[in-house]
Amino acid sequence: MGQEEKQSYLFPLFSKFPIKLVKGQGSRLWDDTGKEYIDLMCGLAVTNLGHVHPKVKDKLVAQLDELWHGCNLFYLPHQERLAQLLVDNSCMDAAFFCSTGAEANEAAIKLARRYAQKIKGTDRYEIITFRQSFHGRTLATLTATGQSKVQEGFLPLPEGFVYADYNDLESVRALLSDRTCAVMVEMIQGEGGVIPADLTFVRELAQLCEEQDILLLVDEIQTGMGRTGKLFAYEHYGIEPDIITLAKGLGSGFPIGAMLGKAKLIPAYTAGAHGSTFGGVPTAMAAGVATVETMLEENLVERAAELGEYVLAQLTEKLASNPLVTTIRGKGLLLGIVCTEPVADIINTIHAKGVLVVPAGPNVIRIVPAMTISQEDLDHGLDVVCQVLAEKAASAISTI
């Protein structure tokens, strides 16, 4: 194929929207034609502080003038600072840093097995996860993911994962065996359709794990870092997991992941048990420190809770009579508009009107604005979403 005929040098792994983004500032994005968009997707819950946040930028620029990479065989100050921030503001005791959410979940899966085998002296290795979950794209994490579409074409999958029904404790009990070492769960199934976990289910699940002496792993890749109106979503449920995993919003767009664990797990992860070349590099740590410090200093987690209640109320009121909409669900600034039909065309129309949203499964429009979004931008973005849904409903009625 000649160069003039080639559309892209990339593998076509993503169904891309026909928009070329070139600039971002706060909750605004611009494409290569200069068209402006209000961002209600945050790169899938990544830019929780908005785009190019000045405090994160300043710390990154300063770090770029000092040190880009320092092997994990040496002490790196920002690593210790970020670990302290995360531990001091959670129920955890130690941190491991990596570059992605899938890596964080891999680290959690390996730690659960190693703790069961090396510390407790058992041969347990199996982890219970949930249907419609999403935990990553590596072989282990896509196997942990309870969606067959993610697993197609990658057989044989590694053994050691079984799937329960979300919000159904009895289905978890039915899978318990002498092979079980942990349960892995999301507090909100983001990719699965923005489905929150029930309060009673989570509390009883935590109690069950304690009774059975198995670990509770909470995947906070999408829900962590203030997204749901708490710094970590598990806080809504009054539980203390054994492990949580983070990524997305932790670095304000800079690649970073983290796994946090309880003190009892530390002896399982000693020198050489796990590692990551680019995990905890100074640049990523600088972004992470600035992100967390800004969230705490500017009370942005509390603002996310307040804005989340506002968005939920606005969408509930404006879409109450829309026959295309069945419900609005989620927590904080991770919300889903559940529709009666596929939303791909609706989302394309919303984009054409200058607002960016994404789906969560075929029938759900995901609303994921920045914690720093202005009231003006938020209101305009929501108005556009509701207007397009109203027009779609009216068009459907007129064709009957």
**pLDDT for 400:** 57
Average pLDDT rounded to a whole number, residues 327-346: 98
User: What pLDDT is attached to residue 395?
Assistant: 87
Average pLDDT value for residue range 187-206: 97
**Whether pLDDT at 276 is above 50:** yes
Average pLDDT over residues 57-66: 97
Looking at residues 85-110, what average pLDDT do you find?
98
Long-range CB pairs of 69-78, under 8 A, 24+ apart, other chains included: 69/278, 69/281, 69/282, 69/283, 70/281, 70/282, 72/275, 72/276, 72/277, 72/279, 72/280, 76/280, 76/281, 76/282, 76/285, 78/282, 78/285, 78/286, 78/288, 78/289
Cβ atoms of 63 and 78 closer than 8 Å: yes
Does the pLDDT value for residue 3 go beyond 60? Answer: no
d(CA 290, CA 396): 48
Q: Please give, one letter per residue, the 3-state secondary structure of 107-149.
A: HHHHHHHHHHHHHCCCCCCEEEEEECCCCCCCHHHHHHCECHH
Residue 222, φ and ψ in degrees, nearest 5: -95, -30
Task: Kindly list the structural domains of the chain, giving each domain's residue range(s) and its CATH number in brackets, ordered by start.
Answer: 21-45+300-398 (3.90.1150.10), 54-297 (3.40.640.10)
Convert the pLDDT of each residue in 131-157 to its tens digit: 999 999 999 999 999 999 999 999 999
Residue 396: predicted pLDDT: 78
Phi then psi for residue 164, to 5 deg, are -100, 170
Per-residue b or e along 256-279, where b marks 16 or more CB atoms closer than 10 Å to that residue's CB:
bbbbbbbeebeebbeeeebebebb
Burial class of residue 28 (count of CB atoms within 10 Å of its CB; 0-12, 13-18, 19+)? middle
Mean pLDDT (whole number) for 251-261: 97
**What's the confidence (pLDDT) of residue 5?**
61
pLDDT of residue 1: 45
Number of alpha carbons in the 13 Å side-chain half-sphere of residue 376? 2
* Whether the predicted pLDDT of 6 surpasses 80: no
Give CA torsion, residues 311, 315, 318, 322, to 10 deg.
170
How many helices (H) and strands (E) are present in the chain, helices listed first?
12, 17
Which pLDDT band, with edges at 50, 70 and 90, does 376 fall under? Answer: very high
Q: Are 60 and 287 in contact (CB under 8 A)?
A: yes
Indicate the average pLDDT of the chain.
96
Tell me the mean pLDDT in the region 287-298.
Answer: 98
Residue 7: predicted pLDDT = 79
> How far, in Å, CA of 247 to CA of 253, rounded?
10
CB 165 within 8 A of CB 199: no
Taking a C-beta distance cutoff of 8 angstroms, is the pair 173, 340 a contact?
no
CA 23 to each of CA 27, 30, 64, 297: distance values in angstroms, whole numbers, following the listed order: 11, 5, 21, 27
Structural contact between residues 51 and 24, judged by C-beta atoms closer than 8 angstroms: yes
- Residues 85-91 have a mean pLDDT of 98
User: pLDDT at position 302, please?
Assistant: 98
| Backbone φ and ψ of 391, nearest 5° | -65, -40
Nearest to 183 by CA among 122, 236, 126, 99: 126
The CA R_g of the chain, rounded to the nearest whole Å, is 21
- The pLDDT of residue 397 is above 80: no
Q: What percent of the chain has pLDDT over 70?
A: 98
pLDDT at 190: 95
Please write the tens of the pLDDT for every residue from 14-35.
Answer: 999 999 999 999 999 999 999 9
| Sign (positive or negative) of CA dihedral 303, 306, 309, 312 | negative
Looking at residue 381, what is its pLDDT? 98
Look at residues 110, 117, 164 and name the one whose alpha carbon lies nearest to residue 141: 110
In this prediction, residue 399 has a pLDDT band, given cuts at 50, 70 and 90, of low
| Residues 114-130 pLDDT 10s | 999 999 999 999 999 99
Mean pLDDT of 332-350: 98
Among 134, 156, 154, CA closest to 144: 134
What is the pLDDT, as a whole number, of residue 23? Answer: 98
